[in-house]
Structures are given as C-alpha cells and as structure tokens.
C-alpha cells in the first residue's frame, strides 16, 4: 500500500507539501497538480476529508473579479449571487487586480477548497492561467473574455459592434472630429474590439482619426482625466466628440473638460460604456453604451449551475446585446 512518502517521491515534493495539498493548505497550482496525479498513479488511500479533494465538492462557487470597486463588477456579482443563492449555494470571491499570479493563486485555492464550480473574469488571460483553468476538476464559465485557449463556455458582449455603434451615433449627429479613449489593448474585448469598432465606423464614413485622437486609460476616473488631458495637448484640432471605453474613464474626461472651461456638449460631446447608475445623475448626464452586466452574471451562473448538475448545456459561447443611451452629454458639433 502506497504511503505519503511514496506520493511525495512520485510528485517530487516534500511530505509536508503532500499534507498541505490533502488538507487544503496553500500550495501552488503546479505542486497541487503533481501531488494529485501521484495520488492517482499510486492509488494512495487518503482520509475521508482528503478523498473529498478528488471525489466530492463543497456547496461553494468560486468567482474571480478584476476590481471589486468597479460599479459594473458589483452589478455582475448581483446577478451571480442572485442565481446561486436561489439554489442554496455560497459564493467565494477573490479580487485579482488583473494580476496573473493572483489569478493562479485564486484558481489553486478554489481547487483546494473543492468548490463546485468557478466563474472566471479577467482583463487578459495569460496562457498559464488558461492552462490552470483547463485542469480544474470542477466546471468553469468565463465571463467577459474569450480567455485564450480555455475550453470552457464563455459569456461575452459584442464589443466590436458596440464600439462601432457608439461611433456611428456620433457621426450621425454630425461629428467628424471624434476622439476615443481606449482601454489597453491587452484586454481583447474592452480594449482591442471596442477600439477597432471605433476605427472601422470612422473608416466607413471616410474619416481618419487625427493625431492624438486615440488615447489609452485604465478603468478609473483619474486615468480618464489624464487621457483627456493628453488628447487636448497632442491634437491640433480639438475633437468635437469623444467616446470612452468605460463610464469611469468618461467621467474623468468630463472632469478634465469642465476644469478647462470646455462645455459638454456645447463644445465637446461625450459618451462612455457600461451605463453605470451614476451616469444618469451627472451634470450633464452621461450618454453611454448600456451593457447588462447583471444579465451577464446571471447567464454565467445559470450555465455553471447546469454544468454542476451534469446537464448538457450545448453552449460554447453566449453573446449578449447592447443599446445606446443618449443623454445630455451628446449633441451636434459646435
């Protein structure tokens, strides 16, 4: 009969590492995988609590988010928790700040805790994170990203079409000098796809963005303020309209314009993404691309629950819609 020392030797780790893995302690994803493979190969008979690491799951769902303070994240979590609370399940949350190392630690922790499933949301999925998600013994659903080579179902918005549509709305209002504050391009959906939609909408109208019209920002008010300041400094002709990759970025841009005495929408029209609740309360109220992130959370949760219950979903990719909400911040060019 195999012993813990045999498992440690087979896995190339210490016996204390084997013990931590089997008892839910902190161990890297790689070490955890090697230990469990050795347990399988040697037929090691673990205790009842340790055996649950292989055969049983808790009533807990693991969820990773990039920024718990982001209003869109909060709305998505409301959707997730509303579904699982109906089924008597608990949600365990980790905030990763988009750091791949923290994402790997979160996945390893969820695996050790034997969660019933994982909802993973990230801004950019590194290949080692994708590989870790592919080896999780519980089902996984990806929210908001294609997530590289991950083979689990994904729930996304059509961010290219959304970027195209908000830019087309500005063009239809008569604007031709249109700037754009993009998320960083490492984030494929909110960065690369939305920006490409903006570029292609301009091209379809025979417009080429002037120098300095495209800037980049994080999803924060301060970053949006800085990006708008750069745009004003780098352009020879002030844009008559600016679209931003999130409402938080747009709020920062609005603050910058107001501090400069530039009227919105009298001199510059402005629009964001996400339609967070505060957007309608600003002065002027902020136009936005409404994305139902609560619906995304609910859809992720419903898919995951079906997978947990061994029901075939026959779903690989869900694409959710959007709508343009025009408020006081949009108007014709001066």
Largest CA distance in the chain: 83
Are the CB atoms for 133 and 108 separated by under 8 Å?
Answer: no
300-302-307 Cα angle (round to 5): 95
Same domain (yes/no): 184, 257: yes
Q: What is the pLDDT of residue 285?
A: 98
CA distance between the termini of the chain: 83
Q: What is the pLDDT of residue 36?
A: 79
**Which two three-digit tokens encode residue 79?**
């959707």
Task: Give yes or no for residue 174 having a pLDDT over 90.
Answer: yes
Higher pLDDT, 163 or 55: 163
Residue 18 lies in a domain: yes
Q: At what angle do helices 221-234 and 247-259 cross, to 10 degrees?
A: 50
Residue 325 lies in a domain: no
Q: What is the pLDDT of residue 211?
A: 94
Same domain (yes/no): 197, 218: yes
Which residue, 67, 104, 110, is CA-closest to 92?
110
Same domain (yes/no): 137, 256: no
Higher pLDDT, 30 or 205: 205
Distance of alpha carbon 68 from alpha carbon 90, whole angstroms = 17
Q: Provide the residue range defining the domain that includes 90.
A: 57-157+294-319
Q: What percent of the chain has pLDDT over 70?
A: 92
Are the CB atoms for 156 and 122 separated by under 8 Å?
Answer: no
Which residue, 183, 268, 248, 190, is CA-closest to 217?
183
**CATH code at position 134:** 3.40.50.2300
Same domain (yes/no): 117, 211: no
Same domain (yes/no): 196, 212: yes
Residue 61 lies in a domain: yes
Could you read off the pLDDT of 86-120 as tens digits, one per residue?
988 999 999 998 888 999 999 999 998 889 999 99
Same domain (yes/no): 287, 299: no
Could you read off the pLDDT of 23-66 as tens digits, one per residue?
655 567 677 778 878 887 887 765 444 444 444 677 899 999 99
Same domain (yes/no): 146, 169: no
Residue 333 lies in a domain: no
Same domain (yes/no): 40, 72: no
Q: What is the pLDDT of residue 43?
A: 77
Q: What is the CA radius of gyration of the chain?
A: 23
Residue 223 lies in a domain: yes
Same domain (yes/no): 237, 175: yes
Same domain (yes/no): 188, 253: yes
How many domains is the chain built from?
3
Same domain (yes/no): 32, 118: no
Average pLDDT over residues 141-161: 88
Region of residue 12 (left: phi > 0; alpha: psi -120 to 50; beta: else): left
Residue 329 lies in a domain: no
- Among 39, 54, 69, identify where a domain stops: 54
Predicted TM-score (pTM) of the model is 0.76
Q: What is the pLDDT of residue 256?
A: 98
Residue 187 lies in a domain: yes
Question: How are beta strands 287-291 and 269-273 bridged, if at all?
Answer: parallel
Same domain (yes/no): 248, 213: yes
């Amino acid at each position: 009969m195999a012993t813990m020392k045999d498992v440690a030797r087979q896995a190339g780790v210490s016996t204390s590492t084997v013990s931590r893995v089997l008892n839910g302690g902190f161990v890297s994803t790689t070490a955890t995988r090697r230990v469990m493979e050795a347990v399988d190969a040697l037929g090691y008979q673990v205790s009842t609590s340790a055996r649950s690491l292989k055969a049983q799951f808790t009533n807990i769902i693991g969820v990773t988010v990039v920024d718990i303070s982001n209003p869109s994240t909060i709305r998505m979590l409301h959707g997730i928790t509303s579904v699982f609370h109906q089924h008597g399940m608990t949600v365990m949350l980790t905030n990763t700040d988009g750091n791949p190392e923290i994402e790997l630690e979160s996945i390893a922790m969820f695996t050790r805790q034997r969660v019933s499933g994982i909802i993973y949301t990230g801004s950019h999925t590194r290949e080692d994170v994708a590989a870790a998600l592919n080896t999780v013994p519980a089902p996984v659903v990806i929210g908001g990203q294609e997530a590289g080579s991950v083979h689990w179902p994904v729930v996304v918005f059509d961010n290219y079409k959304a970027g195209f549509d908000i830019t087309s709305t500005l063009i239809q209002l008569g604007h031709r000098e249109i700037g754009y504050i993009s998320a960083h391009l490492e984030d494929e959906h909110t960065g690369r796809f939305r920006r490409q939609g903006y570029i292609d909408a301009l091209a379809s109208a025979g417009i080429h963005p002037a120098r300095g019209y495209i800037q980049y920002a994080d999803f924060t008010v301060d970053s949006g303020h800085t990006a708008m300041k750069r745009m004003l400094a780098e352009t020879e002709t002030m844009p008559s309209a600016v679209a931003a990759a999130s409402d938080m970025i747009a709020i920062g841009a609005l603050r910058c314009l107001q501090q400069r005495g530039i009227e919105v929408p009298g001199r510059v029209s402005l629009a964001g993404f996400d339609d967070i609740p505060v957007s309608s309360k600003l002065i002027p109220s902020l136009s936005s691309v409404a994305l139902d992130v609560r619906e995304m959370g609910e859809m992720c949760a419903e898919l995951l629950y079906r997978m947990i219950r061994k029901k075939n979903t026959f779903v690989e990719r869900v694409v959710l819609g959007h709508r343009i909400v025009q408020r006081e911040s949009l108007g014709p060019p001066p």
